[in-house]
Chain A
Amino acid sequence: MRRVGHLPEPAAEVRLAYMDHAATSPPRPEAIEAMMPHLGRWFGNPSGSHSVARQAKAALDSARDRIAEVLGVSPLRVVFTSGGTEADNLAVLGAARKGTGPVVCPASEHHAVLEPVRASGGVTVAVDGNGVVDLAALEEAVRDGAALVSVMAVNNETGALSPLREVADLVRRRAPGALLHTDAVQAAPTFDLAELAAGFDMVSVASHKLGGPKGVGVLVTGSEHLPLVLHGGAQEGGRRPGTQDVAGAVGMATALEASARHRAAERSRVGRLRDVLSERIRASVPAAVETCADVPRAPGHLHMRFPGMEAEEILFLLDEKGVCASSGSACASGASRPSHVLSAMGIPEAEVRSAVRFSLGWTTTADDVEQTAEAVAAAVGQLLAAGSRACV
């Protein structure tokens, strides 16, 4: 094993302001605590028949029941997966296999939907200037029917909400045979999915965006909706083979319950903090543009463009000051990459490269907002003083 040195940054004296909840949310203590026994002495494989296995099975069933309760669905419809990406892939690839028409999604979907749609020869639909699905274009795309229409509840980069009710009405009217799927990974922390995704056949949720562990998620589905994608054992009602991650399921259930319990209060608290941050940044950087400011948005998302500047440089300087934010779009090498969401919205290339996403969540405090606002002002000031090409 190579020796790995101490991690250099942030230096011990730098206070962290974690503003990247849309990437992953810090684990909730109650979720960690609930998982611990299942990582240790309650280690059973839930598919077995002896006492240790039965104990694991009971824990898994209980987690499934609790998740179903929050999501307002029957536990039979809850399929555990390895996370949001797998849930999205099961939905899209499963529907594509039915061969009852194309799989359809807007061009601003997360790659976890977009790529399986493309790989299945599906159809992507135009979006408007806010990255929200164009309903006329959707209607046209499903005119001759579709196997599945997948529309995300909240965009991961901008936070824009999709008109899921209108989408459901339209698809039921124009393509009654199509399955409706929504990637609700970003919506789950702050919205009641039973209400938001009413009328949808399938819903994807990821645990780690809720303050649960990574590597676990669920796809809400009906058995008739999901031809097998993975082949193996008969776990998850034959819909998703593989020994279940009991600890992960328990952690996810606990995190989902915790976020549901505080949902209404958190939505307004986080939304207020987001608005303060937006005002502070626009006050110090008048040229900054807030993306999707005038459309319904998730409360924790603040997506800003800094025309004439480069997000890579702003993020570098924020990182030095302990502020963890992102461009919202990364590639395999870890570099930022030009966002397909912003490109689909028609935002010019140079401005796409100036975009920074701040995403707030259950741990965010007024101090975090203060620290972030000051760090942004300092970073932009430094870059301007150093002769950035900015027109700010």
Chain B
Amino acid sequence: MRVMVAMSGGVDSSVAAALAVERGWTVTGVTLKLWGGQSDSGCCSVSDVEDARRVSASLGIAHHVFDFSDEFDRHVVQPYVDAYAVGRTPNPCIECNRHLKFDRLLQRAVRLGFDAVVTGHHARVAAGPGGAPLVHRGRDAAKDQSYVLSMLRGEQLRRVLLPIGDLTKAEVRAIAARRGLATAAKPDSLDTCFISAAAGGREAFLASRIAVRPGRLVDHATGAVVGSVPSVQMVTVGQRRGLGAGSGRGRRYAVSVDIDRGEVRVGGRDDLLTDRLVVEDWQWTAEPAEGTRLWFQSSAHGAPAPGTVARTGERVQLHFDMPQRRPAPGQTVAAYSGDAVIGSGLVSGTRLF
């Protein structure tokens, strides 16, 4: 079997490559050049490419660099900016997986005669109830990345191999250390790879691409103006930081954002709770019987909440068993049956509601 390993220069994909070699597959390492601008870490810098190259050399595999920076800008960075501009909160890693790693790269790998693409995601691919492959949670619950792969379809999953999904992060690092891989002790990357904290973070990045506007903070219950924010586009529903100390009524959260009026309504935790959620672009990878109890997860490491899916014509709604904190519009919601991802979509609307 010939496989192409997507190597970010991190420890997970390094070990994925090592395991692919160990299994006797014919392995080629590839690093994607995604971002040409400033970055603190992530998968885009020259030093990360060098790390991937070193690991490839020590594994005895060929290594290539593909320049996908145009597509990255078109499918990940620009939509990220556009989403914030209209009051949605995007998941750039999901879009990158959707458009770059598991579409553009996967198609290229097939054209170049490879049987599959290997990545270092902490997730597993296994047959679902109908026999079709489904994304399953990785063994290490704290590192599970099934959520960011939740949009993968069967035809993609048939050509995707995730060799570290059966390992804990500690085991991954132990393998890397035992093999003397250059990336064994490299820290995990956590932040958005195209945004540099040193250059002012998300705020400065968005300000360089859209005209950010100041906004006023309005008490959700009384309508009184209680403060201000430097840029209303930057506020995400559910956010607590940067909204002032509050008015002595406990923690305050952004419960809605009206970009046109430059207004953020703030309220208590209860104001964020909802038992229903309208979603859009909902796709099943394995559609369950109506009314089946599923678990919904709306952030990379968020706690899943139980509920059911109700479809009325085109409109899909999630019904939670217990009221949940409202995820921000634009966020992905993944539906799990046990460990398997069986559907996903986006939280509907803008932050204005």
A160 to B191, CA, bound (A): 46
**Stretch in contact with the other chain, from B54-62, B210-218, B302-310:** B54-62
B236 interfacial contact with A, CB 8 Å = no
Do A3 and B67 form a contact, CB below 8 Å, given A313-B108, A313-B111, A334-B53?
Answer: no
A9 to B120, CA, bound (A): 24
Contact: A5 with B111, CB < 8 Å?
Answer: no
Contact: A5 with B54, CB < 8 Å?
Answer: no
B113 interfacial contact with A, CB 8 Å = yes
A387 to B111, CA, bound (A): 8
Closest residue of chain A to B57, judged by CB? A4
Interface size class of A (residues with CB under 8 A): 20 to 34
Contact: B62 with A8, CB < 8 Å?
Answer: yes
Contact: B67 with A336, CB < 8 Å?
Answer: yes
B226 interfacial contact with A, CB 8 Å = no
Chain B residues closer than 8 Å to A331, beta-carbon distance: 33, 67
Chain B residues closer than 8 Å to A333, beta-carbon distance: 31, 33, 46, 49, 65
Q: Say how far B105's CB is from chain A's closest CB, in angstroms.
A: 11
Do A382 and B113 form a contact, CB below 8 Å, given A312-B66, A335-B65?
Answer: yes
A383 interfacial contact with B, CB 8 Å = yes
Contact: A4 with B111, CB < 8 Å?
Answer: no
Query: Looking at chain A's contact residues, is the secondary structure mostly helix, strand, loop, or mixed?
Result: loop
A7 to B62, CA, bound (A): 8
A335 to B112, CA, bound (A): 17
Do A2 and B180 form a contact, CB below 8 Å, given A313-B108, A387-B111?
Answer: yes
Closest residue of chain B to A1, judged by CB? B180
Q: Which of A330-380 contact B (CB under 8 A)?
A: 331-337
Q: Say how far B138's CB is from chain A's closest CB, in angstroms.
A: 28
Q: Which of B107-126 contact A (CB under 8 A)?
A: 108, 110-113
B182 interfacial contact with A, CB 8 Å = yes
B64 interfacial contact with A, CB 8 Å = yes
Contact: B59 with A5, CB < 8 Å?
Answer: yes
Chain B residues closer than 8 Å to A387, beta-carbon distance: 111
Closest residue of chain B to A327, judged by CB? B67
Specify which of B31, B66, B67, B182 lies most central, judged by the most chain A CB atoms within 10 Å of its CB: B67
Interface size class of B (residues with CB under 8 A): 20 to 34
Q: Say how far A382's CB is from chain B's closest CB, in angstroms.
A: 7
Q: Which of B51-97 contact A (CB under 8 A)?
A: 53-54, 57-62, 64-67
Chain A residues closer than 8 Å to B66, beta-carbon distance: 312, 335
Do A5 and B60 form a contact, CB below 8 Å, given A312-B66, A336-B67, A337-B67?
Answer: yes
A3 to B55, CA, bound (A): 10
Contact: A2 with B54, CB < 8 Å?
Answer: yes
Q: Say how far B68's CB is from chain A's closest CB, in angstroms.
A: 9
Q: Say how far A342's CB is from chain B's closest CB, in angstroms.
A: 15
Picked from A2, A7, A382, the residue with its CB within 8 Å of the CB of B182 is: A2
A331 to B46, CA, bound (A): 10
A350 to B49, CA, bound (A): 25
Contact: A316 with B112, CB < 8 Å?
Answer: yes
A119 interfacial contact with B, CB 8 Å = no
Closest residue of chain A to B55, judged by CB? A2
Closest residue of chain B to A334, judged by CB? B65
Between A and B, 5 residue pairs with Cβ closer than 8 Å are: A5-B59, A312-B108, A316-B64, A336-B67, A382-B111
Residues of B at under 8 Å CB distance from A?
31, 33, 46, 49, 53-54, 57-62, 64-67, 108, 110-113, 180, 182
- Known: A5-B59, A313-B112, A333-B65; 16 extra A-B contacts, CB below 8 A, are A2-B54, A2-B180, A3-B180, A4-B58, A8-B61, A8-B62, A313-B111, A317-B112, A332-B46, A333-B33, A335-B65, A382-B113, A383-B111, A386-B110, A386-B111, A387-B111
